[in-house]
Amino acid sequence: MKPRLVIITEIIAPYRVPVFNSLAAHGDVDLHVIFLAETDPKLRQWTIPKDEIRFPYQVLPSFRLPLGNLGLLVNHGLDGALGQARPDAIICGGYNYPSAWQAAFWARKRNIPFLLWTESNAADHRGRSTLVEYLKRKFLGMCRGFVVPGEASKSYLQQLGLPAELIFKAPDAVDNELFMQGARIARANLASVRRRIDLPERYFLSVGRLIRAKGVLDLLEAYANLNEQIRAVVGLVFVGEGEAKRELIRRASLIRPGTVKFSGFVQKEQLAEFYALADALVFPTHSDPWGLVVNEAMACSLPVIASNVPGCVSDLIEDGWNGFIVPVGDIRGICSSMELLAKGNDLRGQMGERSLQRIQEYSPEACAAGIAKAAFAACGDLS
């Protein structure tokens, strides 16, 4: 009999829907997903893809209490939802909201396997206060297994003393086919796409929130330090919104020569057009547990310049093979990597092909398979 698996996760994220659809179609688990909220409107502007959902789910009533920059998500009705779902195993995406702890205690009381799905890694320093570290270790002690996206998260959990046999890899993934097909169509219609979304002839691309923690000011400074001949023909495009936008615009106005464009927030259906026409994605983030924009760019056959912080680097990028890895905050390193790619047409093409080759292993199907394996192991049946 296939196990009844309940996944508890914060919001209906567009990049998780293909994974859950694949898991529901997997046939080896009986899936039910509990969302703690539909979205977080203060941080996310994406469209909630309800029409794409092919798995049973429910959204709990919730409200957000003001607490720091993000607020605290509070729910009611979780005990009843879990009782109705009657899970054989529970996988919870995180421990930083009250419902995660409530679910962990609910599972322990009933001797139901409880697993943590975590992207945390040693290089991501968000929230590393003494209290947070204490609570994290308490929560880990209530878990019978762990689902991680890649090597960085696995290594981090092992550093915390957790045995490797309890850690299961479910690679973070996006809808590769959506981005691959979108890129092919965009490249077949280069001129019209460029005119319609007002893009430079050539450009480096940044995708994500325009906040200092994403390294966007580092990127702009690196672009400003590029050779003038390169800036005259290669621009820089920011896709996203955020509190650093005003400062970025001010600094960008001082760069001569050069073209810096701010395209605002873009829904996932149109993102492939921005990737397809770019020379490379630049992702110099200071703090990021994974970095799904790297998956998206690689599915669009792009080389990637990334800092050594995001969790995806260990799995997706080989320095000098399909991109460049630079120390976080190393503006000179970002600049020199951009210069190499700007000058190297063949290099960009080779690295882009390698990116596309590697990202095939990081699919929604592969992620779903990893989750299913973790569920079977927790239920004591690996067959």
Q: How would DSSP label each residue in 33-75?
A: EEES-S--TTT--PPP-GGG--S-EEE--EEEE--TTT-EEEE
* Both structure tokens of 319: 């320095």
Q: Is the CB of residue 306 less than 8 Å from the CB of residue 313?
A: yes
With H, G, I as helix, E, B as strand and everything else as coil, classify residue 10: coil
Pairing of strands 203-207, 89-92: unpaired
Backbone angles phi, psi at 58, to 5 degrees: -145, 155
Name 282's bridge partners. 305
Q: Which CATH superfamily is domain 176-359 in?
A: Glycogen Phosphorylase B; (3.40.50.2000)
Q: Which CATH class is domain 4-173+363-378?
A: alpha beta
In the chain (383 residues long), the average pLDDT of successive 10-residue segments reads 93 95 90 95 83 96 79 92 97 94 98 96 72 89 97 96 97 97 97 96 97 98 98 98 97 97 95 98 96 98 98 97 98 98 95 98 97 93 44
DSSP character at residue 176: H
Q: Is the CB of residue 304 less than 8 Å from the CB of residue 323?
A: yes
Distance from CA of residue 115 to its chain's centroid?
Answer: 20
Q: Which amino acid is at 71?
A: G
pLDDT in tens, 166-221: 999 999 999 999 999 999 999 999 999 999 999 999 999 999 999 999 999 999 99
CA nearest 170: which of 187, 186, 153?
A: 153
Q: What whole-number percentage of the chain has pLDDT above 90?
A: 87
Q: Which amino acid is at 124?
A: D
Q: Is the CB of residue 163 less than 8 Å from the CB of residue 255?
A: no
Instruction: Tell me the domain boundaries of the chain.
Output: 4-173+363-378, 176-359
* Measured distance CA(338)–CA(221) in Å, rounded: 12
pTM of the shown model: 0.95
* Measured distance CA(107)–CA(127) in Å, rounded: 26
Determine which helix (DSSP H) or strand (DSSP E) holds 167, and give its type and residue range.
strand 167-169
What local confidence, expressed as pLDDT, does residue 69 receive? 62
* Measured distance CA(65)–CA(229) in Å, rounded: 51
Pairing of strands 4-9, 280-283: unpaired
